[in-house]
Amino acid sequence: MYETILYELSDGVAVITMNRPEKFNAFTEKMNKEITDALKQAQKDPEVRCILFTGAGRAFNAGQDLGDVQGGAVDFGGFLRNRYNPMILQFQKTEKPIVAAVNGVAAGAGMSVALACDIRLASDKASFVNAFVNIGLVPDSGGCWFLPRIVGIGKALELAMTGEKVSAEEALRIGLVNQVYPAERFQEEALAYARKLAALPTRAIGLIKRTMSRGLEMGLEETLEYEAFAQEAAGSTEDHREGVAAFMEKRAPRFQGR
């Protein structure tokens, strides 16, 4: 169904794999649109309770395919507004956990996409390059929004201004990634992590994502009010009832994502 990505669903996890390994999975217009569409599909499908986002081959993603933009006559504003911005917004709008399994280098908009995911797992062979400055550009695809929020403004400015490569080990140290696993067992560890998330109360997780994201933009009073609204929604789910019942009965909960 898709040409540039793979989409597979098993055990509640939708695995989206960017699949242009010979080009380090660099973005084309088709790939931007297929990713946006796949995220919408995962959002709609009640079977999907976690999304695992990864790259085929040696790289996670090397950003825009520079072969498509060489020559300089690019309408950058239109390019971003039509292709990249809707894709990045779809990561935020998807009220299910999205885990980036960063299997290799994540550069330029490829790094921004990893930042737009909720949790980042890295292979010990992975690396991050805020490559925009290296070609005279500014971080885009949410890079200027996510990066300072994840690592703090001082580190974000350093990474964006120097365009230097950050190893997986350093990424863990500065909070850019949540976990690092050896490359030999990376895919299975990432899948196991995603399966664990898929077994949790999906609607509460969606509400956590939305509330925390809005909280970054709001004051305490507004956030308290939004928490009350979110808690009303979470408190009316079957999973909440199951969680309390399981606690009282001293057994493990069986959440259904409803």
Residue 171 in contact with residue 126, Cβ under 8 Å? yes
Tell the smallest beta-carbon distance from residue 31 to ligand T3D (Å): 12
Pairing of β 98-102 and β 127-129: unpaired
Dihedral angle over CA of 103, 107, 108, 112, nearest 10: 30
Shortest approach of ligand T3D to residue 7 CB, angstroms? 22
Which of residues 75 and 221 has its CB atom nearest to ligand T3D in the complex?
75
How many residues make up the chain in this entry? 258
- Is-contact 124 103, C-beta < 8 A? no
Nearest by Cα to 59 from 110, 118, 135? 110
Query: Is position 138 an interface residue for ligand T3D (rule: CB under 6 A)?
Result: no
Are 194 and 52 contacting, i.e. CB atoms less than 8 angstroms apart? yes
Query: Is residue 131 close enough to count as binding ligand T3D by CB under 6 A?
Result: yes
Closest separation in Å from C-beta 70 to ligand T3D: 9
Instruction: Compare residues 134 and 236 and give the one whose CB is closer to ligand T3D.
Output: 134
Q: Does 142 bind ligand T3D (CB under 6 A)?
A: no
Considering only residues 70-129, where is the footprint of ligand T3D by CB under 6 A?
A: 74, 76, 79, 105, 107-109, 129
CA angle 84, 103, 188 (to 5 degrees): 120
Residue 35 in the binding site for ligand T3D (CB under 6 A): no
Q: Specify the residue, 104 or 206, whose C-beta has the smaller distance to ligand T3D.
A: 104
- Smallest gap from residue 91 Cβ to ligand T3D (A): 16
Q: Are the beta carbons of 229 and 210 closer than 8 angstroms?
A: no
What is the nearest approach in angstroms of ligand T3D to the Cβ of residue 27?
Answer: 7
Measured distance CA(30)–CA(167) in Å, rounded = 30
Interface contacts to ligand T3D, rule CB under 6 A: 23-24, 26, 62-67, 69, 74, 76, 79, 105, 107-109, 129, 131-132, 134-135, 137, 140
